[in-house]
Structure formats: C-alpha cells, structure tokens
Amino acid sequence: MNTPAAPQVSLAKERIQILLLEGVHDSAVEVLKQHGYSNIKTLKTSLNEDELCEAIKDVHFIGIRSRTQLTAKVFAKAEKLAAVGCFCIGTNQVDLEAARDNGVVVFNAPFSNTRSVAELVLAEIIMLLRRIPEKNAAAHRGGWDKAAKGSFEVRGKVLGIVGYGHIGTQLGILAEQLGMQVRYYDIETKLSLGNALQVSSLNELLKQADVVTLHVPETPQTQWMIGAQELAQMKPGAVFINASRGTVVKINALADSLKSGHLAGAAIDVFPVEPKGNDEQFESPLRGLDNCILTPHIGGSTQEAQENIGIEVVGKLVRYSDNGSTLSAVNFPEVALPAHEGSRRLLHIHHNRPGMLTRINQLLAEQNINVSGQYLQTDSKVGYVVIDIETPPKSTIADDLLVAMRDIDGTIKARVLY
C-alpha cells in the first residue's frame, strides 16, 4: 500500500512554481502570465545534475532546451514535478522512461524551428561548395585567395540527406529550387517530395552525394553512425554537414578526414560535448580547421523559431496544468477530455496493471459519486485517467477522495485539478 499523502487540492496558480532554463524566449513567460501563472524563475544557462537535484525540489513545471540533462536521479528528487517542456525538437536529453515512471509528462516543439535549420544548412551548402570558409579565414589573416579552383555551383550537384523528416524534407525542397538533385536515406519508407529519390542504404547515399547532411534524431541506432569507415565512402572532395546531434558523428574521424583533404569541407552545429552556457570554453578537435564552419548549436536559434517555440510549448504546459490534456506528449498516453459544466476534475496516473480503472470506479461508487466524464489511455507502462465528478461546488469530498485514490495500490500520482 502507498503511504497516504496529505490531501492536496488544486494549487492556486500563483503557487505553481515554474523554472525556465537555457534562455527560453520571453514569449513563454508572457503566455504563462496571460494564463495567470506568475511564479516563474528564468535562467540563461543550464544546470548540472547536482544543481538540478537541488533546484527542482519545489518545481511543478520545468522548461529546458537541448543542453539540460534530466536524468533518473533528477526525477527522483522532483517530487512536485508535473511536466517538462522541451523548448526544442530533441528530447534525447530527458530520461523519458524515468519521467513517465514518476508520472511526469514531457512535451516538445516538433515543428517550430525546422525551417530555421533547413535555411542554415542551405546557406552552408553554398558556402562550402564555394570554399568560402577557407577564403574567409585567409582574408582575415591578410591573404587574398582569388581562385576558382575547387569552387563549384550547387546547381546539378547531388545532395544526400540522412533522415528525411520535418527538416530533411524542407531542405530537399529548398535545395531543388537551386537545381540540386536530392537523394535521401531514411529507415522508414517515405513519401518523396519534388523529385527527391530514396536510396536503400546509407553507404549508397554516401557514395553518390556531393554534399551529405544529417537530420536524424539521437537514438541508439544513430549513435556514432558516421565514423572513419563511412567518411571514407564519401566522394573525394565532398562536403559534410551535421546539424542533428553531436553523438551521431565520431568527431576525431571527421577531423582526420578534413585534415587529410579527403573531405573538402564541413559545417558542424552540434558536438558530443557542448558548453553549458555562453561563458564556458568550447573545446573540439575541429577548432582551427579553416575548411570547417563551426556554429554553437544555433540551427534553430532564430527570433521567429524561438518566439514560436515559447508559445507552442507553454501552450501545451498550460493545457496540461489547466485541464489535464496530454495531447502531443512524447512519453505519455494522450488524453483530452472536454470540461463538463459544474464538475470537478480528478487526474489519476498509475502503473498499467489489470483492474486499476475498476478500483478507481469502485471507490467512486462506494462514495456515491456520479461520474460525468471519464477518459483513460494507457501505454505499456502507465495509465492516465481524467475523471469529471459531480459534486456540490463547495464540497470537500474530493479531498477525502484524493487520499483514498492515492491509497490504491499502483498509483503513481493523483490530484484534484479543480
């Protein structure tokens, strides 16, 4: 049996603590305030594990970008945490299972910065094929490298996209406008847009392409997927771009390939180890290579993208906080129940075991409570049910009920929303 917790009714909005890290855009704070949330702390940097364990104790909602690692250890300390907002696409920085097992819902922004990444990569393709990085570096040192040797138009060249998702497809369309021939490799069979062609293996793509660009998520399959062997498959003089995740490429192998001249150039936005904030030193074996464009993980860092992400992710956090909706959560059963006039709303998150809903409903029946709406969804590990009950407006029955609901064996979290 769970230890009965003290009754806890819906928290007043001003008491709901929100921590936003990594310079999340001001639009997030504005939307939170518009919805009545005022207890908001913002930090420009991420925090390390120990700092997070301390900072997260009283926090109900946390917002992060790609740098903050939310580990099982952090979730174990996050007793009050209801949800995480990843103000980015990638969620590899969050232990999603640990979050789910602790009843914490994780949201992200799957679209808002994709155009920004595609535009940056398009610009890099042109810069790399024209050998601008080396010429730029030489000019800064007083050099004057006016030569066409090794410089090419992008028109007619083969662009090889690894990962043909939201970013890869947009990039493919933009590149075709410049006359590039688009080929892509993806583990899924995809609808080819424009004249793009799917190829059947990574090696085939690497052999055909003048430009290879990575747009895959960080997964066990993509970890270190590009090393010395793969780079050796690429055409001599080809160029390489990574704006996906730093763990996809063996960075020393890439440095060797650039130094040897096998690859003519590279543009890298993401690194196996990245500084925690802007005041920390950046270390990389690629530093000092004139034929390599290095950017500080800013593929999605445009005003437009960040403003939209702030609005999108906060919208999801507010919907969860205000009415329990988990629609578009990345680690949780998706539930959205329309509000029932005059009802009070209960949320129950539990381990997915047979009979959980029966036990909850038995409890309601024993207390003579009428259910006006109920919606349960489960995944392999957890169940999440939103329940609207009919009670007189000033009744305290929900408080007693909450204690009993928490007492049901298998309960992870239960709360009264309103």
**Residue of the chain from 21, 62, 88, 349 that contacts ligand AKG (CB under 6 A):** 88
> DSSP of 378-418, one letter per residue?
E-SSEEEEEEEEE--TT--HHHHHHHHHHHSTTEEEEEE--
Helix (H, G, I), strand (E, B) or coil at 143: coil
Residue 144 to residue 321: CA distance in whole angstroms? 60
Nearest in space to 319 (alpha carbons), one of 331, 308, 335, 333: 335
Which residue lies nearest ligand NAI, judged by its C-beta? 165
CA-based radius of gyration for the chain:
25
Query: Whose Cβ is closer to ligand NAI: residue 39's or residue 46's?
Result: 46
Query: Which positions are annotated as active-site residues?
Result: 245, 274, 297
CB 349 within 8 A of CB 356: no
How far is residue 255's CA from residue 241's CA, in Å, rounded to a whole number? Answer: 13
Check binding of 184 to ligand NAI (CB under 6 A): no
Smallest distance from ligand AKG to CB 418, Å: 33
Q: Minimal distance in Å, beta carbon 150 to ligand AKG?
A: 31
By CB under 6 A, residue 113 contacts ligand AKG: yes
Span near ligand AKG by CB under 6 A; candidates 85-93, 203-211, 218-226, 322-330: 85-93
Give the SS3 label for residue 206: helix
- For 23, 144, 313, 324, 371, the CA distances from 64, given in Å and listed in that order, are 9, 44, 10, 21, 37
Question: Residue 113 Cβ, how far from ligand NAI at the closest point, in Å?
Answer: 5
* Sheet of 105-107, strand order: 40-42, 18-20, 61-64, 83-86, 105-107
DSSP secondary structure letter of residue 328: T
Q: Which of 233, 252, 301, 323 binds ligand AKG (CB under 6 A)?
A: 301
- Told to check if 253 binds ligand AKG by CB under 6 A, we report no
Is position 167 an interface residue for ligand NAI (rule: CB under 6 A)? yes
Least spacing, CB of residue 71 vs ligand NAI, in Å: 18
| Residue 324 sits in the site that holds ligand NAI (CB under 6 A) | no
Q: Does 66 bind ligand AKG (CB under 6 A)?
A: yes
Instruction: Determine, following the binding rule CB under 6 A, whether residue 274 of this chain makes contact with ligand NAI.
Output: no
Smallest gap from Cβ 218 to ligand NAI, in A, equals: 6
DSSP character for 246? G
Q: SS3 for 242?
A: strand
Is residue 168 part of the contact set for ligand NAI (CB under 6 A)? yes
Distance CA 412, CA 306 (A): 34
Residue 344 CB burial class (10 angstroms; 0-12, 13-18, ≥19): buried
User: Which amino acid belongs to residue 325?
Assistant: S
- Quick note: the x/- pattern for ligand NAI over 280-299, rule CB under 6 A, is -----------------x-x
Smallest separation, CB 383 to ligand NAI (Å): 27
Q: Which of residues 58-117 bind ligand NAI (CB under 6 A)?
A: 89-90, 113-114, 117
165 binds ligand NAI (CB under 6 A): yes
Tokens read off for 87: 């103000």
Is 65 near ligand AKG (CB under 6 A)? Answer: yes
Between 139 and 224, name the residue whose CB sits nearer to ligand NAI: 224
Q: What is the largest CA-CA distance in the chain?
A: 86
Stretch that binds ligand NAI, among 142-150, 166-174, 323-331, 398-406 (CB under 6 A): 166-174
| 166 near ligand NAI, rule: CB under 6 A | yes
Which lies closer to ligand AKG via its Cβ, residue 65 or residue 344? 65
Residue 65 interacting partner from ligand NAI, ligand AKG, none (CB closer than 5 to 8 Å by kind)? ligand AKG
312 binds, among ligand AKG, ligand NAI, none (CB under 5 to 8 A by kind): none
Report the distance separating Cα 201 and Cα 314, nearest Å: 39
Using the minimum distance from each CB to ligand NAI, give the nearer residue, 163 or 310.
163
Residue closer to ligand AKG, measured from CB, 114 or 181: 114
CA distance 278 to 281: 8
Q: How many Å apart are CA 43 and CA 64, to the nearest integer?
A: 10
Candidates 91, 94, 93; CA nearest to 81 is: 94
For ligand NAI, which is the closer residue by CB, 172 or 383?
A: 172
Separation in Å, CA 198 to CA 161, 208, 231, 242: 9, 12, 20, 19
The residues that touch ligand AKG, with contacts defined as CB under 6 A, are: 65-66, 88-90, 113, 300-301
The residues that touch ligand NAI, with contacts defined as CB under 6 A, are: 89-90, 113-114, 117, 162-168, 185-188, 215-219, 221-222, 243-245, 269-270, 297, 299-300
